[in-house]
């Protein structure tokens, strides 16, 4: 049997705070699986992270922390290309070129932009869309964010983009941008596809199961990948649940379903086996088992992370190699784009 052709995989995370188990189960765990038999580009998207207010002096450390997290979670930098977005100038250059082909209205529809600009504009009293409000804190960079994301993906002729559910709309836009460009100027771009892991595409908050787990929320609502065993235990024991302890992937309420999903993702056990294991048990027993599972599963990642964070230099050298590889590929696509667009 011939082995299927390698595909190009691209994904990225913003260095904007501590990663949580939603990021790990929804995104990074899939990356590791896909990277084993494909060509993976895993980017630290710092130019996306600066589209909202941030502290410049914290950024270098955050970038290195995120690079260490990618590696600790199982990305092998000898097999995949791990790099920082701002190190490869082709990203912002292609983003500008694509900006000139992207209708304003398409960007105005993006739900992440609407949510984030709403958060930024505290005094949006008139109820106008934040972009129309003089008091809006949203920048042109936040508005153009999805075009930069399209540039990230399209520069590498990416086929598969593994992400959590909240990013699917952005990838649909990247597909539209690529198709429009190919029709108008000639074939340049591969049309990418989002890949979400159905079970873990949207891990919910531990304190409010109607909201996705998010690092912008209060710390009790998420389990950070760097949380200590005690912190993990406290957070899981105080996670909200429903009144009756029913452990069913189909019949439990949203809070318990979310905890069961986390259990399944970390244990890789069949849903029916998990249901049987906790049938008739109380929440305390279930939560203690879940806490121990999460602690055990995160422990190797945490130990590796500590080791990798002992030397900035080694991480910087690894990122330098990633930049070199990424740049070569990206510049070829960029040259083609400029030529097709008629730029001398
Ligand atoms: P914030 O909510 O503060 O904007 P975030 O926690 O969503 O940040 P991102 O950096 O935007 O983190 O996301 C990184 C990756 O993790 C993306 O692929 C995203 O889709 C995925 N992801 C984020 N939150 C979840 C979640 N709760 N469940 C599953 N996947 C998630
Ligand atoms: N917008 C994404 C991060 C991101 C990304 C990308 C993901 C930037 N560029 C390219 C996949 C492919 C987020 O907020 N999680």
Is residue 10 in contact with ligand 2, taking CB distance under 6 Å?
Answer: yes
- pLDDT tens digit string along 260-307? 999 999 999 999 999 999 999 999 999 999 999 999 999 999 999 999
* Average of per-residue pLDDT across 66-95: 98
| 207 falls within a domain | no
Q: What is the CATH number of the domain that holds 174?
A: 3.40.50.620
Statement to judge: residues 51 and 73 lie in one domain: yes
Its domain, for residue 66, covers 8-201+311-340
226 CA from centroid of ligand 1 (Å): 16
Instruction: Choose the residue to mutate in 27, 28, 149 for probing ligand 1, maximizing ligand atoms within 8 Å of C-beta.
Output: 27
Active site residue 212: yes
Statement to judge: residues 187 and 329 lie in one domain: yes
pLDDT at position 119 over 90:
no
pLDDT value, residue 341 = 98
- pLDDT tens digit string along 122-132? 534 445 444 44
9 or 198, greater pLDDT? 9
Phi, psi of 82 (to 5 degrees): -110, 125
Statement to judge: residues 190 and 66 lie in one domain: yes
166 CA from centroid of ligand 2 (Å): 10
Least confident of 2-11, 22-31, 86-95, 96-105: 2-11
Statement to judge: residues 270 and 322 lie in one domain: no
Instruction: Choose the residue to mutate in 162, 170, 190, 214 for probing ligand 2, maximizing ligand atoms within 8 Å of C-beta.
Output: 170
Marked catalytic residue, from 114, 118, 215, 340: 215
Statement to judge: residues 196 and 228 lie in one domain: no
Statement to judge: residues 146 and 101 lie in one domain: yes
284 CA from centroid of ligand 2 (Å): 37
Statement to judge: residues 291 and 144 lie in one domain: no
Is residue 21 in contact with ligand 2, taking CB distance under 6 Å?
Answer: no
Statement to judge: residues 266 and 323 lie in one domain: no
| 281 falls within a domain | yes
Statement to judge: residues 301 and 318 lie in one domain: no
Number of other residues whose CB lies within 10 A of the CB of residue 259: 23
Q: What is the CATH number of the domain that holds 267?
A: 1.10.240.10
Statement to judge: residues 244 and 190 lie in one domain: no
pLDDT value, residue 134 = 44
* Average of per-residue pLDDT across 19-44: 96
* Average of per-residue pLDDT across 23-38: 95
pLDDT at position 156 over 60:
yes
In terms of Cβ atoms closer than 10 Å to its own Cβ (0-12, 13-18, 19+), residue 41 is: buried
| 3 falls within a domain | no
Q: How far apart are CA 251 and CA 257, in angstroms?
A: 8
127 CA from centroid of ligand 2 (Å): 29
Statement to judge: residues 170 and 294 lie in one domain: no
Closest atom of ligand 1 relative to the 213 alpha carbon: 27
| 206 falls within a domain | no
* Average of per-residue pLDDT across 75-104: 98
Q: Which ligand is nearest to the CA of 161?
A: 2
Active site residue 220: no
- Number of compact structural domains in the chain: 2
Least confident of 11-15, 18-22, 193-197, 212-216: 212-216
Statement to judge: residues 192 and 319 lie in one domain: yes
| 3-state SS, residue 215 | coil
49 contacts 63 by C-beta, under 8 angstroms: no
Percent of the chain with pLDDT over 90: 88
Q: What is the DSSP string of 220-262?
A: GGS-BTT--HHHHHHHHHTS---SS----TTTS-HHHHHHHHH
- pLDDT tens digit string along 178-236? 999 999 999 999 999 999 998 898 999 999 999 999 988 899 999 999 999 999 999 99
Mean pLDDT rounded to a whole number for the chain: 93
| 246 falls within a domain | yes
């Amino acid at each position: 049997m011939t082995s299927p052709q390698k595909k190009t995989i691209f994904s990225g995370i913003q260095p904007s705070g501590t990663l949580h188990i939603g990021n790990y189960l929804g995104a990074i765990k899939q990356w590791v699986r896909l990277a084993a038999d494909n060509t993976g580009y895993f980017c630290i998207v710092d130019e996306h992270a600066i589209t909202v207010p941030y502290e410049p002096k914290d950024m270098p450390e955050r970038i290195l922390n995120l690079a260490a997290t990618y590696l600790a979670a199982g990305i092998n930098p000898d097999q995949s290309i791990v790099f920082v977005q701002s190190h490869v100038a082709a990203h912002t250059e292609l983003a500008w070129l694509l900006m000139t082909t992207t209708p304003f209205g398409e960007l105005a529809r993006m739900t992440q932009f609407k949510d984030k600009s709403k958060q930024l504009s505290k005094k949006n009293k008139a109820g106008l869309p934040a972009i129309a409000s003089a008091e809006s804190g949203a920048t042109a960079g936040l508005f153009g964010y999805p075009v930069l994301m399209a540039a990230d993906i399209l520069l590498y002729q990416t086929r598969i983009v593994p992400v959590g559910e909240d990013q699917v709309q952005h990838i649909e836009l990247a597909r539209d941008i690529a198709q429009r460009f190919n029709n108008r100027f000639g074939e340049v771009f591969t049309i990418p596809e989002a890949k979400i892991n159905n079970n873990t595409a949207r891990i919910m908050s531990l304190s409010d199961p109607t909201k996705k787990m998010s690092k912008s929320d209060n710390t009790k609502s998420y389990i950070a990948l760097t949380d200590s065993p005690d912190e993990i235990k406290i957070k899981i024991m105080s996670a909200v649940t429903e009144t009756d302890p029913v452990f069913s992937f189909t019949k439990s309420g949203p809070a318990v379903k979310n905890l069961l999903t986390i259990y399944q993702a970390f244990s890789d056990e069949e849903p029916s086996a998990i249901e049987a294991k906790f049938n008739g048990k109380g929440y305390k027993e279930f939560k203690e088992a879940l806490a121990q599972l999460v602690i055990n599963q995160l422990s190797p990642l945490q130990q590796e992370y500590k080791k990798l964070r002992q030397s900035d230099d080694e991480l910087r050298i690894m990122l330098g190699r990633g930049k070199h590889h990424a740049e070569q590929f990206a510049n070829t696509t960029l040259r083609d784009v400029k030529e097709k667009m008629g730029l001398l």
